[in-house]
Structure 1
Amino acid sequence: MNGALEGRVALVAGGTRGAGRGIAVELGAAGATVYVTGRSTRLRRSEYDRPETIEDTADLVTAAGGRGVAVPTDHLVPEQVAALVARIEAEQGQLDVLVNDIWGGEKLFGWDVPVWEHDLDDGLRLLRLAVETHAITNHHALPLLLKHPGGLVVEMTDGTEEYNRGTYRNSFFYDLAKSSVLRMAFSLGHELGSRGATAVALTPGWMRSEMMLEHFGVAEGNWRDALAAEPAFGISESPFYVGRAVAALAADPEVARWNGTSLSSGQLAREYGFTDRDGSRPDCWRYLVDAQGADGPLDPAPYR
């Protein structure tokens, strides 16, 4: 992918950590200029109170071969998003790739807690962060993206349309948020397709984000040590895997064939031939579907 996105401009909204960071870095590795936004900066942390910052992500983009630009932005504040897009237009004159990876809900939902017992303020805050932010960003950014044909919008979610349709996802609020983003990509595909742009929904598999690695008490270098406690973690993938999926989509001159559809990192790895950084090709969602019908625990190895 080196140089495949030279001269292209991307905005990764919510690029502080996890999938957003992996996507930003891989777009940079392909030669793009990448604007990275979020609320966690070197001067101020968001309510996550974590060490990752948008400046760190931007530096990683530049180190990978692109140009990273960190812009502190709260995507719930329309004025901040409008100012962000105005800056991109003034500095670049174009926007070719928009990745909506804004989330912020890990601490706001309870596993298997029914809606009448769930904290209402947390649930509504989750929906605002996961859905309203995407709508605000699309409203302000899409006019710039549509100025040139061939633009790509990637709506990041958790789960494919097929999987989520028949599976309860953790809680009423979490399920609603992730399903809403899937539908958002479908709606955007309808609105953008006739105007020369493409919109897709994209999900990673079981991703080894910074928070997930901490949960298991491991680092990326020794993540397999977690398999003793959770063998299914063997299907996991690094954040750079879904990043390579986005870079492949952005470089594909026939990307419009995916317009309005739901995609996964493992599916696109088979389509475009890329691998994770360790050379593997995990297909988490195929594994999960097969595991549902298995008599016992399923070995992740054949799905890598």
Structure 2
Amino acid sequence: MTTQKNETNGPRSLRGRICLVAGATRGAGRGIAVQLGAAGATVYVTGRTTRERTSEVGRSTETIEETAELVTAAGGEGIAVPTDHLEVAQVRALVDRIDRERGRLDVLVNDVWGGEHLVVAGFGKKIWEVGLADGLRMLELGVKTHLITSAAAVPLLLRHPGGLLIEITDGTQEYNATRYRENVFYDLAKNAPIRMAFGLGKELAEAGGTAVALTPGWLRSEQMLDHFGVTEENWRDAAEKLPDFAVAESPVYVGRAVAALAADPDRARWNGRSLSSGQMAREYGFSDADGSRPDAWGFIIAKETDEAASVDDYR
């Protein structure tokens, strides 16, 4: 087994690779797209919020055009394609465009979500207390979009051996298997990608492809920073009010996890598995933007049985 331990994979390690990050407007998707660009990849970035139109998430300040520009500035080539991944025709048109322009797809990242506002409204509620329309919308955004995108894009992904499909979710299989996540709709929405990666791993392996589920830890997304009233520059101020927030990670971290997986010639050893950014950091030797190496899921699990567990031991 070949294990990469270098801090970075080099600025050109993914030069010539064609990637699609579905759901790259903000958060993990943007971080992933930019880090793929930093490794030299061409990255198609999709989402519903553009400089002309804002999605139901209601955050007009983050757009796919901006993400594409950040990818290019990082050293890759960013291409923004407005796409609603619930619309089959739009997704097929996206894949046809990638095929027409590049003739291949090497990495597919399914990061479509955009349901945070629905989770907040249904936090801790029973199935009969959550608005049914809101609950079903969570499943559309977090599950149906991923299925549509994979069905349309996997044939192109498998045209050349070694295609990599990454399902982004919230929580590892180990954690989610024995814990109930907020409400039944959110629980299903975030467990489904883990199972999808397992099943698609079986299907892709026959053609030399790899599928994995990957979760960030406590992500300092734009929305999370706004929630705490901090920025990426002073985010540690939030830990003064909520000490556990000190284990949070930036989107750069999960982005580097994806770039490391994409550059690993032995990535098939992960096929079908559930992975975390902290686990991948230990495996591949990369760090977060501030040089730390947080393990949020390790800390969260430890804190359940040991109230004295220290963030310092998991960063």
Instruction: Report if the CA contact (8 A) 2:47-2:64 is conserved.
Output: yes
Partners of 1:277 and 1:186 in 2: how far apart?
30
Deviations, residues 152-172 of structure 1 (Å, cap 9, x unaligned): 000000000000001111111
Aligned to 1:269: 281
1:49: how far off?
Answer: 1.5
1:177: how far off?
Answer: 0.6
Aligned to 1:163: 175
Matched, 1:63 2:73: yes
Aligned to 1:303: 314
Aligned to 1:29: 38
Partners of 1:229 and 1:277 in 2: how far apart?
23
1:43 to 52, 55, 72: 52
Matched, 1:12 2:12: no
Deviations, residues 75-116 of structure 1 (Å, cap 9, x unaligned): 000000000000000100100000000001111131110101
Matched to 2:313, the amino acid is P
TM-score by length of 1: 0.99
1:190: how far off?
Answer: 0.7
Partners of 1:48 and 1:130 in 2: how far apart?
14
Partners of 2:302 and 2:57 in 1: how far apart?
35
Partners of 1:43 and 1:158 in 2: how far apart?
30
Count, aligned residues: 303
1:176 to 188, 192, 200: 188
Percent identity over the alignment is: 65
- Please give the root-mean-square deviation of Cα atoms over the aligned residues, in Å: 0.6
| SS of equivalent residue, structure 1 residue 11 | strand
| SS of equivalent residue, structure 2 residue 275 | strand
1:142 to 154, 178, 189: 154
Regions of 4+ moved over 3 Å = none
2:12 to 3, 22, 33: 3
Partners of 1:33 and 1:7 in 2: how far apart?
7
Partners of 1:10 and 1:95 in 2: how far apart?
6
Partners of 1:202 and 1:107 in 2: how far apart?
22
1:176: how far off?
Answer: 0.7
Aligned to 2:6: none
Deviations, residues 220-271 of structure 1 (Å, cap 9, x unaligned): 0000000111100000000010000000000000000000000000000000
Aligned to 1:288: 300
Matched to 1:299, the amino acid is S
Unaligned runs of 5+ in 1: none
Aligned to 1:106: 116
1:195: how far off?
Answer: 1.0
Matched, 1:53 2:57: no
Matched to 1:227, the amino acid is A
Aligned to 1:88: 98
Matched to 1:68, the amino acid is G
| SS of equivalent residue, structure 2 residue 108 | strand
